[in-house]
């Protein structure tokens, strides 16, 4: 079933079919309904390849993501997919496995004639590579940028600094004064922001950050465990730990329980992300929720404007986080 077949059956030209299908230009109501009848009856759908070749728009959006599986990413992708579906666009999914080369070569190929734009989630590209991409005329947005990038690239992220401050204010209000931070890799902008929020909250409470209490490690359970062990070995133990993601918090909680520290009586723990794991833990984890699906949706909404209007004033959106209080935090014990 090609457009020509439909045209022949309806007794009109292919141009008219195209106009009917795309709701563009003038078509008399009579012709329109006749064509629509033929289309319905024979189940015609336009070939995306042909359309892409002819009009330059493929209806496909590339989505790069380090990995699909960690729920952090899959929830964002779900939000992106949802929003794109509403625009009748499809998503070309590209897991990069954190490999810079893979991502670059993928994008290079997608830019040209495959997709109309891209949503880059935590991309590996350097700021200059992203700038090149932009000057080549590729429309894209970045969700959760790894580093500070060209101001003209639209970005969407969570309010990381504010979220960290929320977590800290909760702990401070409970009476904690020695609050440790287990940060993820400091190269990530999100972590820099969270650190900023951590320090800001301490300062606001009139406390000076103790460098001993900040520990950087990999963003995984293992990293959390290592950091927690080190913190517990300090002469003066912290009474609370703010972990920069839930994985780290899980690791910390494991070590705490292994050392017979009761949570939250002896140690309060706050995570970040509020992944589904956090309410599974016992005690359930207090965590800063990022609006991940929303971030995906918002990215698409920016991208659509970019794709349609061609170019758009710089936009950097930060979506508010929310502190979800569960059983892992409480007032510090009497010591």
Partner DNA sequence: GGCCGCTCTGAAAACGGTAACAGCTGCTTT
Partner DNA sequence: AAAGCAGCTGTTACCGTTTTCAGAGCGGCC
Q: Count each helix (H run) and each strand (E run) in the chain, helices first.
A: 12, 12
Of 44 and 205, which CB lies nearer to DNA in the complex structure? 44
Identified binder of a second copy from the candidate list 37, 108, 204, 234, rule CB under 8 A: 108
CB 103 within 8 A of CB 123: yes
Of 80 and 302, which CB lies nearer to a second copy in the complex structure? 80
Which of DNA, a second copy, none does residue 82 bind to, with CB < 5 to 8 Å depending on kind?
A: a second copy
Which of DNA, a second copy, none does residue 252 bind to, with CB < 5 to 8 Å depending on kind?
A: none
Q: Quick one: which of 290, 280, 285, 284 has its CA closest to 322?
A: 290
CB 303 within 8 A of CB 296: no
Q: Return the DSSP state at 213.
A: G
Phi (first) and psi of residue 167, to 5 degrees: -60, -45
CA 252/CA 243 separation, integer angstroms = 8
CB 317 within 8 A of CB 156: yes
Identified binder of DNA from the candidate list 29, 43, 206, 211, rule CB under 7 A: 29
* Residue numbers 26-55 binding a second copy by CB under 8 A: 43, 45-53
Is 1 a binder of DNA (CB under 7 A)? yes
Identified binder of a second copy from the candidate list 37, 173, 204, 280, rule CB under 8 A: 280
CB 102 within 8 A of CB 46: no
Which of a second copy, DNA, none does residue 222 bind to, with CB < 5 to 8 Å depending on kind?
A: none
Is 186 a binder of a second copy (CB under 8 A)? no
For every residue of 284-326, DSSP letters joined together read PPEEEE--HHHHHHHHHHHHHHHHHHSS----EEEEPPEEE--
For every residue of 30-70, DSSP letters joined together read HHHHHHHHHHHHHT----HHHHHHHHS--SEEEEEES-S-S
Is 256 a binder of a second copy (CB under 8 A)? no
Site string for DNA, 101-140 (x = CB under 7 A): -----------xx---------------------------
Of 84 and 181, which CB lies nearer to a second copy in the complex structure? 84
Which of DNA, a second copy, none does residue 24 bind to, with CB < 5 to 8 Å depending on kind?
A: DNA
CB of 23 to DNA, least distance (A): 10
Size of the site for DNA (CB under 7 A): 35
Q: Quick one: which of 141, 152, 151, 144 has its CA closest to 299?
A: 141
Of 15 and 68, which CB lies nearer to DNA in the complex structure? 15
Is 30 a binder of DNA (CB under 7 A)? yes
Rg (the chain; Cα; Å): 25
Using CB under 8 A, list all residues that contact a second copy: 1, 43, 45-53, 58, 60, 63, 67-69, 71, 74-75, 77-78, 81-82, 85, 90-95, 108-114, 250, 276-277, 280-282
Using CB under 7 A, list all residues that contact DNA: 1-4, 11-19, 21-22, 24-32, 44-47, 50-51, 53-55, 112-113
């Amino acid at each position: 079933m090609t457009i020509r077949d439909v045209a022949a059956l309806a007794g009109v030209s292919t141009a008219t079919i195209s106009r009917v299908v795309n709701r563009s230009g003038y078509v008399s109501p009579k012709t329109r309904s006749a064509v629509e009848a033929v289309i319905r009856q024979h189940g015609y759908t336009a070939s995306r390849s042909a359309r892409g070749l002819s009009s330059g728009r493929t209806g496909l959006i590339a989505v790069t993501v380090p990995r699909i599986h960690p729920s952090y990413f899959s929830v964002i992708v779900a939000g992106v997919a949802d929003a794109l579906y509403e625009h009748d666009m499809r998503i070309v999914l590209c897991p990069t496995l954190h490999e810079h080369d893979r991502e670059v070569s993928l994008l290079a190929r997608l830019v040209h004639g495959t997709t109309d734009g891209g949503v880059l989630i935590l991309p590996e590209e350097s700021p200059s590579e992203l700038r090149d991409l932009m000057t080549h005329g590729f429309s894209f947005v970045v969700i959760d940028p790894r580093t500070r990038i060209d101001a003209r690239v639209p970005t969407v992220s969570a309010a990381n600094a504010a979220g960290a401050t929320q977590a800290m204010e909760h702990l401070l209000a409970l009476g904690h004064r020695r609050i440790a931070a287990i940060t993820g890799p400091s190269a990530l902008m999100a972590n820099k922001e969270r650190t900023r929020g951590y320090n800001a909250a301490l300062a606001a409470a009139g406390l000076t950050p103790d460098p001993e209490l900040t520990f950087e490690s990999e963003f995984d359970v293992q990293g959390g465990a290592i950091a927690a062990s080190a913190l517990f070995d300090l002469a003066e133990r912290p009474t609370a730990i703010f972990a920069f993601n839930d994985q780290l918090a899980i690791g910390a909680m494991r070590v705490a329980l292994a050392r017979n520290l009761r949570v939250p009586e002896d140690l309060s723990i706050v995570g970040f992300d509020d992944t589904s794991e956090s309410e599974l833990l016992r005690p359930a984890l207090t965590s800063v929720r990022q609006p991940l699906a929303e971030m995906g949706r918002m990215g698409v909404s920016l991208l659509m404007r970019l794709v349609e209007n061609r170019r758009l004033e710089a936009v950097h959106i930060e979506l508010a986080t929310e502190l979800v209080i569960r059983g892992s935090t409480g007032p510090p014990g009497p010591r």
